[in-house]
Chains A and B, each alone.
Chain A
Amino acid sequence: MILYIYYKYMHSFLDTANVNRMRELSVYLLMLLWLLTITPSLPAHWESLSVFLMIFLLTWQYEAPFVKKLSLALFIYGSYVFCMLFTGYLLILFDRNMRTDTFAAAQSVLFLIFMYLGEQLAEFAAERAGRLRRRLAESERAKRQLLGYANQMAVMKRSEEKVRGLRHDLKHHLNELMFLAERDEASEIKEYIKSMDAFMTYSREYVSSGNTDIDSLLNLMLDFAKKELCDVSCKVSIPRELAIKPFDLNVILGNLLDNAILAAKQTPEQYLKVRISYKPEMLLILIENSYQGSVHKYKGQYRSTKKDGLEHGLGLENVRHVVEQYDGNLEITDENQLFRVKAVLYVPAQKERISP
């Protein structure tokens, strides 16, 4: 019974994904044997120490930082000692002549109740924390989407203004060009046209696929990337009418680009490449960036190197989740200081028009 409680504790606090089931079971059986045979024969102070050691040993089957294991073992042991003392106190209060086995039984029952309550509490807290974290991530995305739209509006407005400005001065420009042409100054004409072109194109519009959702998000992210990195390239060839929810797109591209920009920023190359293309019914995304140092891998999955514990590896997890909703694949590779993410999503063509 006590061992089962230990087991529950280990599972709710430590990472249990990579555990060999058979080995786990045999370790617990060994502990049971130890508890039944050796522990009772030890002197009192050795007995409690052996319990602590046993719990601590149990934690070593699982993957977790050392401090976490130690604190978990200490916590369980602490509650054990507390229960022993508390029953001792009850004994003094009520019945000094209680038999030792009744005393031991009371001790274990109290310990069991205590641990069970503790476990329930921890689970409840974890669930609350998870919900909170999800809500935080969601609001973050909503904010970015809004920001993206605002940015896109500004970008479009500025482009439009530039074209209008040029049109306003068109007569003047034509006069100038005609004047240069009459004097056969080809190089000057070229120079003049080049400056007109430079005036017309607005440098902060990187993507104009006609798909407002993708454009707004990518223009926002790439503007940020261009400020932070020196080698940024992006090519998007997709149909205007793509049936993908802006929210999902935001999760995928937002998270992947966030990670890529952050990683590339710490390298001398500062390299980022974004390619998005479409084959009938399939959206293909490729994001490549330079990275330095180690990639954090845990349970065979990539973890972020970000320091904030709350968001640990959550971004990629969300991306994977959304990609799976589109029956897709997310493939991540890292070699030669190059981090590469390939995503495939099944995006059905727009519903065909119903013929009368």
Chain B
Amino acid sequence: MSVLTLNFFTQEGTPVYRVGICDDEKNTCTAIEKMVCEYAKQNTFTLETFIWHTGEALCEALAKTTLDLLFLDIELITTSGIAVGRYIRNELEYHEMGIVYISAKSSYAMELFKIRPLDFLIKPVKYEDVAQMIASARMLARRNKLIFEYRTKGNYGTIPYKDIVCFISDNKKINVMTSASAIVFNGRLRDLLPQLPDNFIQIHQSYIINLDHMLSCKYDSVKMSDGTQLGISQPYRKEVRRQIAEFNWGE
């Protein structure tokens, strides 16, 4: 593993942005790294890049460290990009990292979509594409840093928004579901919704879900990353579809 740290106009306390690249072709790695650094230089932020040439090395490293964005080759020689992606999402339960798949072909297997990649890029990778990926991943990272504050039994508590799978209301109480725990506080979804980031949408009178934790969506139900299945009630269906399209294409 080679590590390269670049400091452009480093500000005190600014978190370092971490980008990983995993491809068995050394040239592709170098090309992407160059573009990533070029983007960081133009947009004056601090950035660290990590390069791996095999999926195994990447998996081993990810068990110990975190990344904000990963460029991952689909056609790795020993382990496929699908297996690595599955390991990241299912084994490590690492949901907030943006994965961008790179490949020479533009033909994709259904399995890849279950890993919820940020996007797909085709080799040879273009600068504009890389720039766009980092821009949207940075926006994601900024959103993931937001913290949800609540009050229960006179005590204040906090949870990072990225860990919240969904809010479920139950009789003037709201359950905050994360993959690890459930917290209950008093409140109404109606008052809660306006203060949430835009990746939270209401799908039912008593459910608000985090789109980043949505595994799949049928027209009448969604499946979340913690395995729960929630129904989309009739009056919300049209609006849910509209919001998902909006969220997907960005604005």
B112 at the interface (CB under 8 A from A): yes
What is the 8 Å Cβ interface bit string for chain B, positions 106-123, against chain A (1 contact, 0 not)? 111110111010011000
What is the 8 Å Cβ interface bit string for chain A, positions 123-150, against chain B (1 contact, 0 not)? 0000000000000000000000000000
Report yes or no: B106 in contact with A240, Cβ–Cβ below 8 A.
no
Report yes or no: B244 in contact with A282, Cβ–Cβ below 8 A.
yes
Determine the distance from Cα of A350 to Cα of B113 in the docked complex, in whole angstroms: 13
A241 at the interface (CB under 8 A from B): yes
Report yes or no: A210 in contact with B108, Cβ–Cβ below 8 A.
yes
Which among B5-13, B63-71, B91-99, B211-219 touches the partner chain? B211-219
Which of B106, B242, B245 is A209 in contact with, Cβ under 8 Å?
Answer: B106
Which of A208, A211, A240, A329 is B241 in contact with, Cβ under 8 Å?
Answer: A329
Q: How large is the interface on A (under 10, 10 to 19, 20 to 34, 35 or more residues)?
A: 20 to 34
Determine the distance from Cα of A282 to Cα of B238 in the docked complex, in whole angstroms: 14
Whether A346 contacts B106 in the complex (CB less than 8 A), given A237-B120, A275-B249, A279-B116, comes out as no
What is the 8 Å Cβ interface bit string for chain A, positions 337-356, against chain B (1 contact, 0 not)? 00000111010111000000
Determine the distance from Cα of A207 to Cα of B246 in the docked complex, in whole angstroms: 24
- Which B residues are in CB contact (< 8 Å) with A112? none
Whether A280 contacts B241 in the complex (CB less than 8 A), given A209-B106, A240-B108, A275-B249, comes out as no
The residue on A at minimum CB distance from B219 is A327
Report yes or no: A282 in contact with B217, Cβ–Cβ below 8 A.
yes
Whether A329 contacts B105 in the complex (CB less than 8 A), given A279-B217, A346-B219, A348-B218, comes out as no
Expressed in whole angstroms, the minimum distance between the Cβ of B234 and any Cβ of chain A is: 12
Which of B110, B119, B219, B246 is A239 in contact with, Cβ under 8 Å?
Answer: B110
Report yes or no: A278 in contact with B244, Cβ–Cβ below 8 A.
no
- Which A residues are in CB contact (< 8 Å) with B238? 329
18 of the cross-chain contacts (CB-CB < 8 Å) are A208-B105, A237-B106, A237-B119, A239-B108, A239-B112, A241-B109, A275-B249, A279-B248, A280-B217, A282-B216, A282-B217, A284-B248, A328-B241, A329-B245, A342-B246, A343-B245, A349-B110, A350-B110
Q: Report the 7 A-B pairs with minimum CB-CB distance, sorted nearest first.
A: A210-B107, A280-B216, A327-B219, A239-B110, A329-B241, A237-B120, A342-B245
